[in-house]
Amino acid sequence: MPSVQELITKIEHEIEELPQGVLQPDTSFRQLPEWSSMHALIIIALAETEYNVTLSGNDLRSCNTVNDLHQIIESRKG
């Protein structure tokens, strides 16, 4: 089971402009000043390619923190 930390590392890798260490398990990522639709798309693509989990825009809207995101991905992996 991938840890939250692994998920954070992957997100940091994909979103190059995000300084390392900013994202924590309890970070409300949608509140980050740089948050944009492109970032949302990057996360949806990451879930698809790395975890084979399909996320919708609504799924993402229901997440506040990286922990929430991690939980959704874990629950969908089956």
Partner 1 sequence: MPAKVAAFTYYLPETTYTNADFANDFPETKLQTLQKIGVEKRHITPKGQTSSDLAFAAAEKLFTENSIPRSEIDFLIYCSFDYDHYTPATAGILQHRLGLSTRCGAFDMGLGCSAYVYGIATAVSLLETLQLRNVLLLTASSLTHKIHAKDRGNRFLFGDAASATLISFSEKKQTGPFTFGTDGSGAGQIMVPHGGMRTPLNETSFEESTDEFGNVTTPASFYMDGFGIFRFTVATVPGMIEETLQKAGITRNDIDLFVFHQPNVFLNELLRKKLMIPEEKFVHCMKDFGNTVQATIPIALTEALKEGRLKPGMKVLLAGFGVGLSWACGIIDYE
By beta-carbon proximity to partner 1, the closer residue of 9 and 44 is 44
Residue of the chain from 24, 44, 64, 67 that contacts partner 1 (CB under 8 A): 44
Q: Does 62 bind partner 1 (CB under 8 A)?
A: no
Residue of the chain from 3, 28, 36, 71 that contacts partner 1 (CB under 8 A): 36
By beta-carbon proximity to partner 1, the closer residue of 1 and 78 is 78
* Helix residue ranges per DSSP H, 20-63: 37-51, 57-61
